[in-house]
Amino acid sequence: MPSVQIRVRQWGEAPDTMGAKLRCLRKDAGLTQQQLADKVGLSVKTIQSVELNVYSPCWQNFTKLAKFFSVSLDWLAE
């Protein structure tokens, strides 16, 4: 996926957790946690918890995040 390759170059190394990937995707899009939460219909607490690897989102929320950023579920989860 071209968007993932661009992101890896920008951040210097590939993010290795779902939380790190979500944080990189969000920052690359120029969004705050609140803006992302509003756009995908989740709470800020959920976004924060996922980025900190404290919480794994349910399948429905996981799918919303992957679709919003146009990344595969596999890439986001691995």
Token pair belonging to 25 = 């995707």
At residue 21 the predicted structure's pLDDT band, cuts being 50, 70 and 90, is very high
pLDDT of 64 above 60: yes
CATH code where residue 73 lies: 1.10.260.40
Contact 47, 57 (CB under 8 A): no
Number of compact structural domains in the chain: 1
How many angstroms separate the first and last alpha carbons of the chain?
15
Contact 71, 4 (CB under 8 A): yes
Q: What pTM, to 2 d.p., does this model score?
A: 0.80
**Most confident listed range (35-44, 56-65, 67-76):** 35-44
Backbone angles phi, psi at 14, to 5 degrees: -70, 130
Handedness of CA 53, 58, 32, 21 (dihedral sign): positive
Domain interval for residue 62: 2-77
